[in-house]
Amino acid sequence: MGKDVIVACDFASAEQVFSFLDKFQDEKPFVKIGMELFYAEGPEIVRQIKARGHKIFLDLKLHDIPNTVKKSMAVLSRLDVDMTNLHAAGTISMMEAAIEGLTRPDGTRPMLIAVTQLTSTDQERMTNDLLINRPIDEVVMHYAHNAKVAGLDGVVCSPLEAGKVHATCGDNFCTVTPGVRFADGDVGDQKRVMTPAQAKEIGSDYIVVGRPITAAADPVAAYRRCVSEFCD
């Protein structure tokens, strides 16, 4: 499985994202495009970043009835993204429909990963707001297992959960982990963090890194530091 650093390009406009990507002359980072940029700029932003030679993780977290998700995934697949995602809470049928929609006539498709429980959802909110009484770790692993049963490629999870996801779903089921910070960097609003080196140690397959790279004085140097700690 390709270990890689995915740069979360949480920018509000095409202008901002291109001025950031222009700093990279010698490498083409794997880029995550989230809802803010996608809703601001539309699908053209995906085509433009792709045309510059970057791989793209389109982070839109789909969650709807299976038929709608299937048709929407077919549209995203035609955009030629490399990875996209959905909420495992949409059920196994929704995830299976998503795979169908994503699969191109030649049998290829982008990687599809599931969000289990958002890291903003803690045990108390899950119990009180969602009326899910089981321990959150068990729910996360159950949703990861459902994603595997539906044929997905992996889950987004905290680096702290990556080892357990692999133990539950196998080493080939990939873990994409945000919440990464340098040992000497700002934690910001992330609560449970790991360094790129620790994420590698615990078995993350991809790390998603935003502000430690995008807000760095030298983003290219910060990206290279992530790659050397995580991939080498």
CB of 218 to ligand C5P, least distance (A): 16
Consecutive H or E run containing 229: helix 219-230
**HEC assignment per residue over 171-194:** CCCEEEECCECCCCCCCCCCCCCE
Does 209 interact with ligand C5P (rule: CB under 6 A)?
A: yes
State which of residues 29, 66, 90, 178 lies at the interface with ligand C5P (CB under 6 A). 178
Does 123 interact with ligand C5P (rule: CB under 6 A)?
A: no
Residue from 32, 83, 36, 24 nearest 222 by CA: 24
Is 70 a residue of the active site?
Answer: no
DSSP-derived 3-state class of residue 83: strand
Does 190 interact with ligand C5P (rule: CB under 6 A)?
A: yes
Does 210 interact with ligand C5P (rule: CB under 6 A)?
A: yes
State which of residues 5, 208, 222, 226 lies at the interface with ligand C5P (CB under 6 A). 208
Distance CA(17)–CA(210), nearest Å, equals 12
Question: Which residue in the shown chain puts its C-beta closest to ligand C5P?
Answer: 210
State which of residues 211, 220, 224, 227 lies at the interface with ligand C5P (CB under 6 A). 211
Residue from 68, 108, 104 nearest 86 by CA: 68
Q: Catalytic: which of 3, 50, 61, 164? A: 61
Nearer of residues 59 and 70 to ligand C5P, judged by Cβ = 59
Distance CA(139)–CA(52), nearest Å, equals 39
The answer for residues whose C-beta is within 8 angstroms of residue 134's C-beta and 6 or more apart is 142
CB 223 within 8 A of CB 5: yes
Q: Which amino acid is at 148?
A: K
Does 159 interact with ligand C5P (rule: CB under 6 A)?
A: no
Which tokens go with 30?
A: 């794997």
CB of 219 to ligand C5P, least distance (A): 12
Count of other CB atoms within 10 angstroms of residue 18: 15
Nearer of residues 73 and 207 to ligand C5P, judged by Cβ = 207
State which of residues 7, 139, 150, 156 lies at the interface with ligand C5P (CB under 6 A). 156
From the list 43-51, 67-75, 196-204, 210-218, the region that binds ligand C5P by CB under 6 A is 210-218
Nearer of residues 29 and 179 to ligand C5P, judged by Cβ = 179
Residue from 144, 147, 146, 160 nearest 204 by CA: 160
CB of 2 to ligand C5P, least distance (A): 19
Which residues in this chain contact ligand C5P in the complex, by CB under 6 A?
8, 10, 34, 118-119, 156, 178-179, 190, 208-212
- Positions marked active-site: 61
